[in-house]
């Protein structure tokens, strides 16, 4: 009986693999990892930022850089990543940085965070854990939308700022208006997207 069950499972797996042909219609790729250039980013303590909440200059990406998202705009890769300092109760407040690449392998980092906790209405959600784990999609009107996780030390909440302007005309800036998505949405990476002419678009 156990042998028959095992054989049935194996036949089911083979049938699924045959039907999917190794990749579903909604999947993108395949991707190739270039180990020769990895890791292409790491922590650094030479980038300083005047934190508006601490009211002091800190090494904002000295502890960690991780959990990125990337977009390609005019053949330029723009990598948004989470960076942490060593400051505060949690030995690290997160901010979102930006790195730019023309080949997807060699990146130039903007030396200040582009998104961070500030003295605004979102501070109660963001301090002092910070702004974490950006995820970005584009809609058909050319507007980018980002979700991120705001962490205040006790609860992680999903936030949804609309990106009004993102690196248009060569500007290394972004303008945001923050919005809490709800107390029950507690994780990052919940952007819903559809594949449209090789682009992942917001529905």
Query: What is the tens place of the pLDDT at every residue in 80-124?
Result: 999 999 998 888 999 999 999 999 889 999 999 999 999 988 899
Cα distance between residue 104 and residue 93, in whole Å: 27
Instruction: Look at residues 159, 9, 37, 24 and name the one whose alpha carbon lies nearest to residue 107.
Output: 37
Write down the architecture of domain 28-201 according to CATH.
5 Propeller (2.115)
Confidence grade of residue 167 (pLDDT, cut at 50, 70, 90): very low
Q: Which of 44-53, 113-122, 172-181 has the lowest mean pLDDT?
A: 172-181
Report yes or no: 51 and 42 within 8 Å, Cβ to Cβ.
no
* Structure confidence at residue 11 (pLDDT): 46
pLDDT band at 61 (very low <50, low <70, confident <90, very high): very high
pLDDT higher than 80, residue 129:
yes
CB contact set of 176 (below 8 Å; sequence gap of 6+)? 115, 146, 161, 162, 163, 164
């Amino acid at each position: 009986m156990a042998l028959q069950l095992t054989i049935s499972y194996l036949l089911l797996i083979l049938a699924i693999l045959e039907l999917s042909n190794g990749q579903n219609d909604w999947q993108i790729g395949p991707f190739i990892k270039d180990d020769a250039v990895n890791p292409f980013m790491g922590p650094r303590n030479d980038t300083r930022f005047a934190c508006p909440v601490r009211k002091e200059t800190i090494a904002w990406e000295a502890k960690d850089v991780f959990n990125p998202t990337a977009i390609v705009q005019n053949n330029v890769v723009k990598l948004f990543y989470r960076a942490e300092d060593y400051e505060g109760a949690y030995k690290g407040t997160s901010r979102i940085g930006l790195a730019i690449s023309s080949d997807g392998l060699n990146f130039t980092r903007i030396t200040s965070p582009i998104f961070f906790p500030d003295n605004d209405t979102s501070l109660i959600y963001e301090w002092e854990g910070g702004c974490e784990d950006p995820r970005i999609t584009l809609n058909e009107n050319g507007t980018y939308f980002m979700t991120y996780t705001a962490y205040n030390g006790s609860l992680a909440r999903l936030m949804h700022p609309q990106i009004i302007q993102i690196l248009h005309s060569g500007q290394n800036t972004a303008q945001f208006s923050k919005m809490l998505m709800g107390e029950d949405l507690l994780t990052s990476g919940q952007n819903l997207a559809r594949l449209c002419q090789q682009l992942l678009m917001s529905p």
